[in-house]
Chains A and B, each alone.
Chain A
Amino acid sequence: MRWVNRKIARGNALLLGALPLAVLALIYLIAAASRHAANPADKILPLPGAMASAMAALIFEADPLSGQYLFWADTLASLSRLGMGLGIATLSALLVGLVLGALPPVRTTFGPMVTAIAVIPPIALLPILFITFGLGETAKVALIVVGIAPFMIRDLAGHIAALPREQIVKSLTLGASSWQLLLRVALPQAMPRLIAGLRLSLGPAWVFLISAEAIAADVGLGYRIFLVRRYLAMDVILPYVAWIALLAVAIDFLLSRTSRTLFGWAHKAGH
Chain B
Amino acid sequence: MLSLANVWVEYGDKVVLERISLDIAEGSFVSIIGPSGAGKSSLLRVILGQDQPSRGSITLDGQALPQECGPDRGVVFQRYSVFPHLTVLGNTLLGLEFAQAPLAARLFGSARRAAIAQAEEMLAAVGLSDSMHLYPSEMSGGMQQRLAIAQALIKRPRILLLDEPFGALDPGIRTDMHALITRLWREFGLTIIMVTHDIKEAFGLGTRVLTLDKRRHDPHAPHRYGAGVIYDIALTRKMAAEAEIDASITIDTNGNN
Contact = CB atoms under 8 A, between A and B. Distances in A.
Partners in one complex: yes
Interface of A: 164, 166-167, 169-177, 179-180, 183-185, 188-189, 263-266, 268-271
Given A169-B50, A188-B85, A180 B77 contact: no
Contacts of B148: 170
Given A166-B77, A180-B105, A268 B97 contact: no
Interface of B: 48, 50, 68-71, 73-75, 77, 79-86, 94-95, 97-99, 102-106, 135, 137-141, 148, 151-152, 155, 157
Contacts of A169: 48, 50, 69, 75, 77
Contact of B85 (A180, A265, A269): A265
Given A170-B83, A175-B71, A177-B98, 12 more contacts: A170-B75, A173-B69, A173-B70, A173-B71, A177-B102, A184-B97, A184-B98, A184-B105, A188-B86, A189-B85, A270-B137, A271-B137
Contacts of B103: 179
A271 B155 contact: no
Contacts of B48: 169, 173
A164 B84 CA distance: 11
Nearest to A177: B102
A164 B102 contact: no
B68 A172 contact: yes
A97 B148 CA distance: 28
A218 B52 CA distance: 63
The interface centre, meaning the residue of A164, A169, A270 with most chain B CB atoms within 10 A of its CB, is A169
Contacts of A166: 77, 79-81
Nearest to B104: A183
B158 to A, nearest CB: 11
A172 B137 contact: no
B12 to A, nearest CB: 20
Contacts of A189: 83-85
A176 B98 contact: yes
Chain A contact surface mostly: helix
B93 to A, nearest CB: 10
A267 B83 CA distance: 14
5 pairs of A and B residues whose beta carbons are closest in the complex: A164-B80, A172-B69, A175-B71, A166-B80, A174-B95
A175 B49 CA distance: 13
Contact of A183 (B82, B105, B152): B105
B98 A266 contact: no
A177 B105 CA distance: 10
Contacts of B138: 268
A169 B68 CA distance: 9
B145 to A, nearest CB: 12
Given A170-B77, A173-B155, A269 B137 contact: yes
A173 B152 contact: yes
B73 A265 contact: no
A48 B54 CA distance: 77
A174 B137 contact: no
Contact of A265 (B135, B141, B155): B135
A188 B135 CA distance: 14
A179 to B, nearest CB: 8
The interface centre, meaning the residue of A263, A266, A271 with most chain B CB atoms within 10 A of its CB, is A271
Contacts of A266: 84-85
Nearest to B79: A166
10 contacts: A169-B50, A170-B75, A170-B148, A172-B70, A173-B69, A174-B152, A177-B98, A184-B105, A188-B86, A263-B85
Nearest to A265: B135
Nearest to A167: B80
The interface centre, meaning the residue of B94, B102, B141 with most chain A CB atoms within 10 A of its CB, is B94
A183 B73 CA distance: 22
Nearest to A174: B95
Contacts of B70: 172-173, 175
Contact of B98 (A180, A188, A268, A270): A180
B90 to A, nearest CB: 9
A173 B157 contact: yes
Nearest to B84: A265
A271 B141 contact: yes
Given A164-B80, A166-B79, A271-B141, A174 B98 contact: yes
A215 to B, nearest CB: 43
Contact of A185 (B83, B106, B141): B83
Contacts of A180: 98, 102, 105
Contact of B137 (A167, A177, A188, A268): A268
